Amino acid sequence: MEFPFLSRFIEIDGLSVHYLDEGSENDKLFVLLHGVPAWSFMYRNIIPILVDKGYRVVCPDLIGFGKSDQLKKASDYTYNRQFSILCSFIRKLELKNTVVYGQDWGAGFALHLCVFSQSGRPVLN
């Protein structure tokens, strides 16, 4: 299993969120959001293609998936909690002018981010 990416971690709400941040920092940015039960590993073949095209690619592992922290109780895994952590993640890394791609749950989060950004509560400016 090849996974040649540097693991990065950021703390949000007392939880360690694992993410990948590949490519050079510039205005061309993709955020890739995985679904259930996946993690950033699912994008291992797509990330190098986007980086080769000149994009920066950021790919977080949702809480409870991949290398991010796990919650103690299944009932703690709510859509609103995951979305709140994702918004904090985007704000902390100051991700702007972003193309968001999501699969499964990630698609729902991507759509929600776009709606938020158009509603006067921007996350992705």
Structure confidence at residue 81 (pLDDT): 92
Structure confidence at residue 32 (pLDDT): 97
Report pTM. 0.90
- In degrees, to the nearest 5, what angle opens at C-alpha 8 toward C-alphas 69 and 60? 65
Rounded distance between C-alpha atoms, residue 60 and residue 101, angstroms:
12
Relative to beta strand 29-33, strand 56-60 is parallel
Structure confidence at residue 85 (pLDDT): 94
Contacts of 27 (CB under 8 A, 6+ apart): 97
Structure confidence at residue 25 (pLDDT): 80
Answer for the pair 27, 56: CB distance below 8 angstroms, yes or no: no
pLDDT in tens, the chain (125 residues): 678 999 999 999 999 999 999 998 877 899 999 988 899 999 999 999 999 999 999 999 999 999 999 999 989 889 899 999 999 999 999 998 889 999 998 999 998 888 776 655 556 55
Sort 11 into a burial class: Cβ within 10 Å, 0-12 / 13-18 / 19+. Answer: exposed
Structure confidence at residue 123 (pLDDT): 63
